[in-house]
Structure 1
């Protein structure tokens, strides 16, 4: 069941949450976050800029840095991907039910 209040809103990329909420709350710069995550600044900037996904490996790194679970970050990415990567021909695929 879909929440009608959320209808029409675009899904949130986990990079946006990291950029807008988490890093400011932690009080660390993007450069420091990249260093702490043991990744290049460009890798982090691509995630924060919503150009790259949070991979399972990155979910582990972000979870460790933020004191959250990797499942949280992976689930956010999965929800984003499912909402934004719908195949064009989906309506042409029949829905079958087991007998």
Structure 2
């Protein structure tokens, strides 16, 4: 099931984790072991949740886990890419009745 315009995971991190805990960007970045600038980019939708960042979030906050953060990022990235799919040039394979590729 495809989502319609999923939220950037940085928005979710900000609204559902940092704000309820009343954490500043500086304080959260210090706990995550990253620069304030790096965290700010993620929170302001100019940076992505990388596998390393997802693991840092899991280690710092517990739940949701790293896999959850990566799924959120993947859903966001895929939705964004689909918005420009008309620009992607692909020649589809033809599939015959038996489900095999046709030459």
TM-score by length of 2: 0.79
Q: Which runs of 5+ in 1 are unaligned?
A: none
Moved beyond 4 Å, runs of 4+: none
- Normalization by structure 1: what TM-score? 0.81
Of Structure 1 and Structure 2, the greater helix share is in 1
CA RMSD of superposed structures (Å): 2.0
CA offset at residue 95 of structure 1?
Answer: 5.2
Cα separation, partners in 2 of 1:93 and 1:11, compared to 1, 3 Å: farther
- Where 1:52 maps in the other structure, the secondary structure is coil
* Structure 2 gaps, min length 5: none
- Superposed displacement of residue 93, structure 1: 3.7
Structure (1 or 2) with the larger CA radius of gyration: 2
Q: Report how many aligned residue pairs link the two structures.
A: 94
